Amino acid sequence: MNSRIRCRWGHPKNAIALLIILSFSSNVAAGRPDPPMQAVLDTLTSLKPRPLPELSPVEARTEPGSKDAFKELLKKRNGGALPAPESVARVEDRTVPGPAGPRTVRVYTPEGKGPLPVAVYVHGGGWTVGSIAGYDPSYRALANAARCVVISVSYRLAPENKFPSGLEDVYAAFQYIRKNAAQFGGDPKRVAIVGESAGGNLAAAVCLLSHDRKAALPIHQVLIYPITDTRTNTSSYRAHKYAVPLDRPQMVYFIEQVVRTKRDLDSPYLAVLRAPSLRGLPPATVITAEIDPLNAEGVAYANRLKASGVPVRYKNYDGATHEFFSMGAIVPDAKEAVQFVADGLKAAFAK
């Protein structure tokens, strides 16, 4: 199967195709990065980052990563100066209540008359090293492409705050934003959730937790190369064991930081792929990158959602690596991926 095919399994026209194509396929070949992606990776190599498993979490948070390499490459191509970010109408920091006190959220509002739909965005970083600021290009691009207010939420990081601290922060932020969307220029009936990597894990878990607690669900979930399991033995983990910028040793390190005990490794709110049931969850858009140890588990989660009766739009990006989504200024696949996500959100917002 062509892994770039867009799938809307809930549509009647796909009944025949569904009989023929029973599942999405994982991209497990070693793969080569596309030239624009390779340019980012070469720049990252030039920054000489130290292996994260050799560092404390505090040290890891200051170590250069792929987003730093992306900025360096932008500067190099722009005569040494970082170009202005993609323009939106307004960016402001606010706070929302959280289980351990107020949490910062950053609100990106595009041009247009409100109330606008809302996408609550959860950043990545292995639950350990990420921040709101690091994903700024993703928020701006999606706010404009989907014509929605994007609200990036902060959460407590591991290992200072183990699972489920971050999840409870994101859950509380989502529920507050949904109920009070008007405060942000948004429509409370049109609130989705989006997450990258560990943020994709948290976004998927918020959907599960909201369903199990009989709370309001997002109208759509977007999972961008999500972590969906705590087992690191899939075909893509083997094929991309030492991939850049994310490899298996880093993932083992991140998982060790976030769990309290071995029992957490099996929690359905962390290893979401092993949740007893995914029925009744919101329609989903799932994106994977070919050169990524998380590829197979992203595909597996999309397949489980589909098998559970959840409409799924899935797309894999050949020649792309983990973290490519925010690199639209350099990597063409990123622009295409943002538009793919935006199309799914706009369709959900229009219902």
Which domains are delineated in the chain? Answer: 34-350 (3.40.50.1820)
pLDDT tens column, 244-303? 999 999 999 999 999 999 999 999 999 999 999 999 999 999 999 999 999 999 999 999
To the query of whether residue 3 is one of the catalytic residues in this protein, the response is no
Between 180 and 23, the higher pLDDT residue: 180
Query: Catalytic pick from 26, 197, 210, 326?
Result: 197
pLDDT attached to residue 239: 97
On whether the CB atoms of residues 106 and 151 are closer than 8 A, the answer is yes
Look at residue 13 and tell me whether its pLDDT is greater than 80. Answer: no
Query: Catalytic pick from 138, 165, 322, 333?
Result: 322
Query: Catalytic pick from 165, 292, 326, 333?
Result: 292
To the query of whether residue 333 is one of the catalytic residues in this protein, the response is no
To the query of whether residue 11 is one of the catalytic residues in this protein, the response is no
pLDDT tens column, 54-66? 999 999 999 999 9
pTM of the model: 0.92
Give the residues across from 29 on adjacent strands: none
pLDDT attached to residue 29: 59
pLDDT tens column, 68-98? 999 999 999 999 999 999 999 999 999 999 9
Rounded to 5 degrees, φ, ψ at 100 are -120, 20
Q: Which residue has the tokens 């099996």?
A: 266
Average pLDDT of the chain is 93
On whether the CB atoms of residues 216 and 193 are closer than 8 A, the answer is no
pLDDT tens column, 19-39? 223 467 676 656 899 999 999
Residues 6+ apart with CB under 8 A from 274: 229, 266, 268
Classified as helix, coil or strand, 84 is coil
pLDDT attached to residue 351: 87
| Residue-by-residue DSSP string for 148-193 | SEEEEE--PPTTTS-TTHHHHHHHHHHHHHHHTGGGGTEEEEEEEE
Give the residues across from 99 on adjacent strands: 101
Mean pLDDT throughout 337-346?
A: 98
pLDDT tens column, 105-149? 999 999 999 899 999 999 999 999 999 999 999 999 999 999 999
10 Å CB burial of residue 86 (0-12, 13-18, 19+) is middle
The rounded distance, in Å, linking the Cα atoms of 104 and 112 is 24
